[in-house]
Amino acid sequence: MALASARHILVDNEALCLDLKDKIEQGEDFAELAKQHSMCPSSQDGGALGEFGPGMMVPEFDKVVFSAPLNQVQGPVQTQFGYHLLEVSSRSD
């Protein structure tokens, strides 16, 4: 079974999500921005979600996590919860 480890930032609007992505691309720390802005309880861990398999997250999230290049910020990804920035740190088949 495929497994992945990822972290994310969840916000309620696309504009903020894009702004945070710009900040990360300019060198700001993903984990610090997650702690400051993410609405998910994972924000306390810098957005870290741990390891999970396909089907354990919503489909929009899974699609990105199990196909995106490693260690590159992806998003905004819209789900029923809001807008996410995702970064996949590892993936195994």
Quick: pLDDT tens for 21-36. Answer: 999 999 999 999 999 9
Is the pLDDT assigned to residue 49 strictly greater than 90?
Answer: yes
Tell me the average pLDDT across 46-68.
Answer: 95
Query: Which among 59, 55, 77, 67 has a CA at the least distance from the CA of 8?
Result: 77
Neighbour order of strands in the sheet with 74-79: 48-52, 3-11, 82-92, 74-79
Work out the average pLDDT over 46-75: 96
Confidence of residue 93 (pLDDT cuts 50, 70, 90): confident
Is 13's pLDDT higher than 90?
yes
Rounded mean pLDDT of the chain? 96
